[in-house]
Amino acid sequence: MTEPILSVTNLTKRFGGFVALDGVNVSLGDKERLGLIGPNGSGKTTLINCISGALFNEQGKVNFAGSDVTGTTASRRAKLGIIRTFQIPRPFRSMTIIENLLIPMEYAASGRMESRNLRDQAMESLEIVGLQDRADENSANLTQIDMRRLELARALSAKPSLLLSDETMAGLSSSEVDEVLDMLFALNERGVAVIMIEHIMRAVMKYSERIVVLDAGKKIADGSPDEIVNNRDVERAYLGE
């Protein structure tokens, strides 16, 4: 296997006395699509937060693209190419849709941008998610699905090499789920590794090349979708004994 783009070793995160993540090991290959599942409260978002830098882990290391990013700020990691989307979209409300994309282009992707006009490059990202006709609308009053689109377009504009997608499809209708799935496939085709947290099983099964399962802060399974489906521990975690 080629050098993994991300390797999380022995990661432990505590909140006071509560151990949210306990010695978790995950690695991700370049351009791999990884699904991250587990019952509520198992630590999935916490893991994403520790990888992206929104939280700092007490123990363990996070290695990205060959360098140790443990303890570095989230903006630093974004500059390196780790980009995350939020469960509840967080647009920059005072800006228009296209202005939202300028921020990651000027900051996270500042070393990776082409020298063409920024607005043109932003429009390309908008086209992938289907928001190109509304580029100059204010971003504050969008529908749920449009906010998810903006969130994805913004992540795209940051030119990530690793995308952490946190329940992007939660609460969407079946056809909307398919739309988002297509966008995530398109993203992966452009060379972006993706870790997807979702509760919508058919999306996870369809999208993931490999699935990692967390339960109560520990990794209990790591394998192909078929292996996971047939794994007794996973079944027990979700359904109880």
Partner 1 sequence: MKLNKFWFIIAAVFLIGIAFTMVADNEFYFYATYAVMQLMIMGIAWNILGGFTGYVNFGSGGFFAAGAYTTVFLHRAFDAPPLLIAVLVAPMVCGLIGLGVGYFTLRLKGVYFAIATLAVAIILETIVVNWEFVGGAGGYYLLIPENVVFFDSYIEWLFVLILAITLIAIIVSRYLNSSKIGQGLAAIRDDELAAESMGVPTLKLKLISTTVMGGLMGAAGAPFPYFITFVEPASAFNLLVAVMAIAVPMIGGTASWIGPVIGGLLLGTIQETVTVNISSELNLLIVGVVLVGFISLAPQGITGLYQDFMRKRRKGND
Per-residue binding string, partner 1, 107-136, x by CB under 8 A, is: xxxx--------------------------
Only segment of 20-28, 88-96, 127-135, 200-208 that touches partner 1 (CB under 8 A): 88-96
Using the minimum distance from each CB to partner 1, give the nearer residue, 12 or 87.
87
Strands 210-215 and 33-37: parallel
State the number of binding residues for partner 1 (CB under 8 A).
29
Q: Largest Cα–Cα distance of the chain, in whole Å?
A: 58
Region near partner 1 per CB under 8 A, out of 27-35, 49-57, 175-183, 193-201: 49-57
Q: How far apart are CA 173 and CA 26, in angstroms?
A: 31
What is the pattern of x (binds partner 1, CB under 8 A) and - over residues 141-160? -------------x---x--
**Does residue 73 touch partner 1 according to CB under 8 A?**
yes
- How many other CB atoms are there within 10 angstroms of residue 152's CB atom? 24
Burial class (CB in 10 A: 0-12, 13-18, 19+), 17: exposed
Q: Which two tokens stand for residue 47?
A: 């893991």
Query: Least CB distance from residue 213 to partner 1, whole Å?
Result: 25
If DSSP codes are grouped into helix, strand and coil, which group holds residue 50? helix
Cα 52 to Cα 46, 152, 166, 239: the distances in Å are 10, 16, 11, 30
Q: What whole-number distance in Å separates Cα of residue 21 and Cα of residue 192? A: 26
* Interface with partner 1 (CB under 8 A), residue from 51, 78, 147, 183: 78
| 44, 37 contact by CB (below 8 A) | yes
Question: In the complex, what is the shortest distance from the CB of residue 104 to partner 1, in angstroms, rounded to a whole number?
Answer: 4
Q: Which of 74, 184, 203, 228 binds partner 1 (CB under 8 A)?
A: 74
Query: Taking the complex as a whole, how short is the minimal distance between the CB of residue 24 and partner 1, in angstroms?
Result: 21
**What's the count of helices (H) and strands (E) in the chain, helices before strands?**
9, 10
Question: Which string of x and - marks every residue 1-40 that binds partner 1 (by CB under 8 A)?
Answer: ----------------------------------------
For Cα atoms 134, 136, 140, give the angle at the middle one, nearest 5 degrees: 85
Give me the least distance between CB of 93 and partner 1, in Å please: 5
- Name which of 109 and 237 has its Cβ closer to partner 1: 109
Binding site for partner 1 (CB under 8 A): 52-54, 73-76, 78-79, 83-84, 86, 90-95, 99, 102-104, 106-110, 154, 158
